Amino acid sequence: MILNTDGTKPIYVQIAEWLETEILNGNFLQDQKVYSQYQLAEIFNINPATAAKGLTLLVEDDVLYKKRGLGMFVTEAAQAIILTKRREHSLKRLVTELVSEAEQLNVGMDELLEMVRKESKQSKGE
């Protein structure tokens, strides 16, 4: 992953989202140790404090838990928490923006749904 240092999204949030994606993709499983703040700092060439802030976000969301002296580990409910969060926040925001844009362009609901279906088929390789 390449961090977007020019965007409006803070780097520590990008780090947290990257780790969430890694968990969703099965690269980190329940009770498995994740990268330390120093490993993340080295991987992404960032300050360890920034990496720590990203890890802290995930601890606060109950995606990761700390074992004193051992590091951060994936919680049992991590995948469910991430999926719920992304559905309720990210996906809802994108749908709201999509509907708003469609209304501004006078694209009807049937046409919009057909565009979504077509894109879904293309992304699945159908």
pLDDT, tens digit, 9 for 90 and up, residues 93-121: 899 999 999 999 999 999 999 999 999 98
pLDDT score recorded for residue 2: 78
Beta bridge partners of 33: 73
How confident is the model over 20-56, as pLDDT tens digits?
Answer: 999 999 999 999 999 999 999 999 999 999 999 999 9
Beta bridge partners of 74: 64
How confident is the model over 67-92, as pLDDT tens digits?
Answer: 999 999 999 999 999 999 999 988 89
Q: Is the dihedral of CA 44, 48, 53, 56 positive or negative?
A: positive
55 within 8 A of 67, measured Cβ to Cβ: no
pTM across the whole model = 0.78
43 within 8 A of 35, measured Cβ to Cβ: yes
73 within 8 A of 64, measured Cβ to Cβ: yes
118 within 8 A of 104, measured Cβ to Cβ: no
CA–CA dist 13, 20 (Å, integer): 10
